[in-house]
Amino acid sequence: MKKYFLFDDEYITGNQYFIRHLISLPLSLILIGFLLSSATAYKRAKSLGNSNFICVIWAIWGALNLPLSLNPIWFLTNTIPYWYLWWTDGLRNLK
């Protein structure tokens, strides 16, 4: 379990991202889920080949995605980023 919370360069797939994110949702009630969601978004962004700066932006979004889902424009703030992290193959498609 400890490796789930570390901000390292562990490669995770889209399905692993989705499962870890589902685990983080109920854990958000005791505030641990915010860290898990942030670390998971960082690792998935790093797995997709993004730079460290972009990965930090994704980590911030990961920590805030639950509060962002409560706003009226949740589709833009959460659905599009989820789609990118879960389904995309990253920068491989651009070459």
* CB-CB contact of 58 with 85 (8 Å): yes
pLDDT digits (tens, 9 = 90+) for 10-37: 889 888 999 998 888 888 888 888 999 9
Above 70 in pLDDT, residue 93? no
* CB-CB contact of 7 with 59 (8 Å): yes
pLDDT digits (tens, 9 = 90+) for 26-70: 888 888 889 999 999 999 999 988 899 999 999 999 899 888 888
Q: How far apart are CA 30 and CA 78, in angstroms?
A: 21
**Overall pTM > 0.85:** no
pLDDT digits (tens, 9 = 90+) for 76-89: 888 888 888 888 87
